[in-house]
């Protein structure tokens, strides 16, 4: 049963896996602030918005033809975060909500069932509105509709919460000591061609590569017979310059900024053709040195539970399979750094890695690829 929310009303959440979206007649942006008990972000990384779609426990999903959505796993929100604040902003910052019908905020569970509806009425000429807060207490999480317009705009709002406007967050990963490195899988557990030179001087150049990910839907016993498990594997490509993360393509950001790396769209069940990422090596910036291909399990299912999960690297021009591997050999892990493409002296070389990691989304994976740079 869908609950109709009212401003200021506290509502107990019975699930930690939710999706927040907004329907509105004008173009709007959706964002979230992860706040401490003092109402401040810890770092700029606690702002989730169109330029930074991944946070800890919160991700922004933008799909062509569909409203943007904040997908939240509140159980994965760090313990020192007490509030997740959802903000709705008009694309045109000179516009005002009072010129349109009220925005309709919807909250669904992980299966797509509608939990709540909140018509954000009574907003004035502001272009930014603090829509709802998710507050942590001793019993769990509760939802508090606010619907408060912020007259000074989005930049002033996030600045008031401690975000440094204009600062471009950078993720720089640190190299681990040798004794702490994860143990990669043996070559026999991967493909028979673990290392390939992609471009040789004077020879034919391989200018495009594609990474494919697939798995079979899993049906498990339930109260009323077999049910389909919510297993969601995600393919990501992470572009590095040295140890600095430059860019990425994944379910929440389908293209790198320069368009060289493109994700073909999220697949929630593994059915059909799975997920595909293409990399145009000729369009990568000169300072790009490494592209990692990573698989993560969004819902936290380990690879041993997934049926027929595989990855493949394909020549983008001929569709010839270059290498691949079975994810199930990753065992009791939720992520894997499957391979990398690395440039040395203008020669691109591919290497299969098969390094198991514990990661539910690309941000967590990015922090664990340092040993393989």
Total domains in the chain come to 2
Say if 165 falls within a structural domain.
no
Domain end, chosen from 160, 192, 222, is at 160
End-to-end Cα spacing for the chain: 50
CATH number for the domain that contains residue 68: 2.60.60.30
Residues 136 and 225 in one domain: no
Domain end, chosen from 126, 160, 194, is at 160
Residues 108 and 42 in one domain: yes
Confidence of residue 225 (pLDDT cuts 50, 70, 90): very low
pLDDT of residue 201: 40
Q: What percent of the chain has pLDDT over 90?
A: 28
pLDDT of residue 200: 40
Residues 212 and 124 in one domain: no
Residues 155 and 184 in one domain: no
Say if 62 falls within a structural domain.
yes
Say if 169 falls within a structural domain.
no
pLDDT digits (tens, 9 = 90+) for 156-208: 899 989 988 754 333 333 333 444 444 444 444 444 344 455 544 444 456 78
Residues 70 and 142 in one domain: yes
Domain membership of residue 316 as a residue range: 178-372
Residues 72 and 23 in one domain: yes
Say if 81 falls within a structural domain.
yes
Say if 265 falls within a structural domain.
yes
Say if 167 falls within a structural domain.
no
Q: Other C-beta atoms within 10 Å of 54: how many?
A: 20
Residues 36 and 121 in one domain: yes
Residues 24 and 71 in one domain: yes
Residue 135 has pLDDT above 50, yes or no: yes
Residues 259 and 148 in one domain: no
pLDDT digits (tens, 9 = 90+) for 250-290: 887 888 888 999 998 765 444 445 688 999 988 999 899 99
List all residues 6 or more positions away from 323 whose beta carbon is below 8 Å from its beta carbon.
Answer: 190, 191, 193, 194, 196, 312, 313, 339, 350, 352
Residues 288 and 254 in one domain: yes
Residues 331 and 182 in one domain: yes
The mean per-residue pLDDT over the stretch 34-39 comes to 93
Domain end, chosen from 103, 130, 160, is at 160
Residues 196 and 232 in one domain: yes
pTM: predicted TM-score of the whole model, two decimal places? 0.50
Say if 166 falls within a structural domain.
no
Say if 172 falls within a structural domain.
no
């Amino acid at each position: 049963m869908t609950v109709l929310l009212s401003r200021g009303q506290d509502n107990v959440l019975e699930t930690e896996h939710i999706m927040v979206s907004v329907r509105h007649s004008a173009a709007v942006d959706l964002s979230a602030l992860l706040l401490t008990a003092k109402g401040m972000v810890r770092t700029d990384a606690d702002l989730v918005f169109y330029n930074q779609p991944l946070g800890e426990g919160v991700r922004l999903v933008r799909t062509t033809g569909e409203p943007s959505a904040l997908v939240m796993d509140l159980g994965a929100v760090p313990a020192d975060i007490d509030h997740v604040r959802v903000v709705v902003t008009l694309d045109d910052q000179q516009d005002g909500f009072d010129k349109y019908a009220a925005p309709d905020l919807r909250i669904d569970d992980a299966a797509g069932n509608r939990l709540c509806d909140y018509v954000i009425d009574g907003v004035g000429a502001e272009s930014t509105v603090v829509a709802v807060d998710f507050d942590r207490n001793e019993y769990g999480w509760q939802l508090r509709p606010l619907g408060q317009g912020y007259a000074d705009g989005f930049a002033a709002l996030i600045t008031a919460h401690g975000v440094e406007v204009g600062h471009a967050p950078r993720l720089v990963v640190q190299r681990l000591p040798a004794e702490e490195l994860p143990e990669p899988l043996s070559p026999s557990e991967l493909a028979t061609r673990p290392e390939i030179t992609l471009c040789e001087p004077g020879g034919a150049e391989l200018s495009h590569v594609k990474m494919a990910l697939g798995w079979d839907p899993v049906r498990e016993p339930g109260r009323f017979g077999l049910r389909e498990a919510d297993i969601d594997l995600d393919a990501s490509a992470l572009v590095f310059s040295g140890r600095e993360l430059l860019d990425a393509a994944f379910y929440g950001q389908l293209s790198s900024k320069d368009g060289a790396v493109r994700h073909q769209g999220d697949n929630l069940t593994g059915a059909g053709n799975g997920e595909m990422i293409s990399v145009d090596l000729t369009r990568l910036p000169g300072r790009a040195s490494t592209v990692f291909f990573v698989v993560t399990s969004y819902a936290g299912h380990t690879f041993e539970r997934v049926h027929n999960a595989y990855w493949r690297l394909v020549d983008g021009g001929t569709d010839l399979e270059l290498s691949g591997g079975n994810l199930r050999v990753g065992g009791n892990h939720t992520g894997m750094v499957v391979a990398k493409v690395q440039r040395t002296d203008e020669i691109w070389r591919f290497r299969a890695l098969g390094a198991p990691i514990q990661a539910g989304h690309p941000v967590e994976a990015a922090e664990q690829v340092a040993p393989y740079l």
